Structure 1
């Protein structure tokens, strides 16, 4: 080894030791942030509109897609994961039906990790429409997890006592581990004064929730034949 090489080698080793190992392994760009999303995850759409993801899965063209309430979105709006905002836009609104109040989101599979379970809610498939008296549960980004009895059901929608507030729009409504509905709103309840032990006091009470039958939404998307057609949960 030459005298010049004996001088350069220790300098090179000292320089490499000062560089973080992650930098040595990194490619030309920085590591890309990813978001973990499933039915019940909070999402931000467009100009800071906070709603809840109903479910996530794949359509017949193997696109990674999800659903939320139609009144949350406009076509082409970017979608961010509320808890991983640093990942930037992870999807785009690909379809909106304002009449039936649902929207389809196409996600970037390089930025999203889809999951079946969020908190206490697990979605293992699509279920039959609930009937009055059934116990359903919902998980929303505002009020979290809650369950209640279905007390009114129609071909397109049903009302239940699981509770709902602003931001819960799009929340999945489940019967067991089956997705049966999409939360789209609530019935305003007058809770200004409730008699407790002979006294009138204000108490926080969740408004009864209104949900759209998920089977009707999926049938409508399938008939349109575009993004989201043939949807199946992860």
Structure 2
């Protein structure tokens, strides 16, 4: 439950080489939303107010409140006292510095938060849509290698492969802090069934594949999620 002051739950600890992946549904009752809203900064409240759709506004409040509550437990601080800032491309981070790193993603009412220490991390979650125009999106955003591999698969396997590729690419872009300001067709990730998640090649930055590890994240049916972390393949712990 959201509350002001330090959390009543025990502080959390994390060691280098671990990634904690938290999952929550963003549907909240009115009283909980009021409590979560009380944790947000003036900037976050202004961002929420700019969302005209009530459902999206409530999801934003629930997502940011969840982020504050969870990160505060690692720092043993008041969730409302946390100060966030964003990098040049909008990636959130703690304004006071320190080794804790995190990244958050939400889609279709579900939210994932990845927390680690000492290295950059990115996570992406997508709700699967059977009517997605994935072939057009692949032609626009995927590299030639990725497109060739995707379209070489039987039709019944292509949508799953598309989501594997998309979430792996976006998790890496979020981990770098660039998002889609970096050309998404300038690098390749794995997507074929049975192939481990990996950043295979980067034509502008050939040293990047050796610096990053990718992992698929377990999510409910109807979703797809991937994680990218700078460093060796992490130990992933799932937390409620």
Structure 2 length normalisation: TM-score? 0.25
Larger radius of gyration: 1
Larger relative contact order, structure 1 or 2 (CA cutoff 8 Å, min sep 6):
2
Where is the helix percentage greater, Structure 1 or Structure 2? 2
